Amino acid sequence: MSTLLANGGPVIWLILLAAATAAVVFIERALYCHRSQINSAEFLNGVRTVIKRGNVVEAIAICDATAGPVARLVKAAILARELGRERVREAVEEAGLTEVPRLEEKLNLLATIAQLAPLLGLFGTLLGFIDVFGFINHADAYANFRDLAGGINKALVCAASGIAVAIPAHAGYNYLVSRVNKIVLDMERAAAEIVNIVSENGTGK
């Protein structure tokens, strides 16, 4: 690592900062998605059973005890149960509009890092070659490959580091997007089902 920092020049620090930021964002988002995804079918079956018994308080308690956006959507529907089917649907939609941005939070930052890392590597490469040509211009006919190796090494280290950061950042972004899309699909299914559950059991008008 010390050799990498010594050979990469100042740009390598920017690339390492981008790598650290991407790692932190990915881990935080992956944990959030893990906590947010539940077995929605099992959860809704439990809520349906409780509502059929007329125990709305217990249904709300189940929602409060369950993590994730699906539980919060279901709770919003239950709280709006006495306002009619349309109002229940609106409450679920409003809850969904609040939950989706939470799921997508910081994903743009990860995508930006995946796009910027190769550009930072290219920037470091150009600086390395500027050093090389500057030395050639200064040394004139006395330049040799050993003297030029430092600038060339800086150029190659920066290029490789930028690509090495961009590849996992891009893969991590796509993985998180797929997780978010799956959770959103669960939310849509749960939203439709809870509206029917509330209506079927006479709690909606």
For the stretch 9-53, pLDDT in tens is 778 889 999 999 999 999 999 999 999 888 888 999 999 888 888
Of 101 and 131, the structure prediction assigns the larger pLDDT to 101
So what's the pLDDT on residue 110?
A: 95
Question: Cα(188)–Cα(198) distance, rounded to whole angstroms?
Answer: 16
Tell me whether residue 106 is in a domain.
yes
Tell me whether residue 191 is in a domain.
yes
pLDDT band at 147 (very low <50, low <70, confident <90, very high): low
Q: Is 105 left (phi over 0), alpha (psi -120 to 50) or beta?
A: beta
Of 33 and 147, the structure prediction assigns the larger pLDDT to 33
So what's the pLDDT on residue 204?
A: 43
Percent with pLDDT over 70 in the chain: 84
pLDDT band at 205 (very low <50, low <70, confident <90, very high): very low
Question: Cα(74)–Cα(92) distance, rounded to whole angstroms?
Answer: 7
Q: Is 188 exposed, middle or buried (0-12, 13-18, 19+ CB in 10 A)?
A: middle
Mean pLDDT of 136-164: 72
* Pair 69, 183: CB distance under 8 Å: yes
So what's the pLDDT on residue 145?
A: 61
Q: In whole angstroms, how far apart are CA 135 and each of 8, 103, 144, 190? A: 17, 51, 10, 66
Q: In whole angstroms, how far apart are CA 129 and each of 126, 133, 141, 150? A: 5, 6, 18, 10
So what's the pLDDT on residue 125?
A: 84
pLDDT at 188 over 60: yes
For the stretch 59-87, pLDDT in tens is 899 999 988 899 999 999 888 887 778 88
For the stretch 130-144, pLDDT in tens is 777 766 666 665 656
pLDDT at 166 over 80: yes
So what's the pLDDT on residue 103?
A: 92
Q: Residue 118: which of 169, 175, 177 has the closest Cα?
A: 169
134: Cβ–Cβ under 8 A, 6 or more apart, which residues? Answer: none
Q: How many domains does the chain have?
A: 1
Residue 85's domain comprises 2-200
Tell me whether residue 109 is in a domain.
yes
Q: In whole angstroms, how far apart are CA 201 and each of 52, 64, 82, 88? A: 6, 21, 11, 13
Q: How many CB atoms lie within 10 A of CB 31?
A: 10
**Distance between alpha carbon 43 and the CA centroid of its chain, in Å?**
25
So what's the pLDDT on residue 128?
A: 78
So what's the pLDDT on residue 168?
A: 96
So what's the pLDDT on residue 72?
A: 92
Tell me whether residue 205 is in a domain.
no
So what's the pLDDT on residue 8?
A: 61
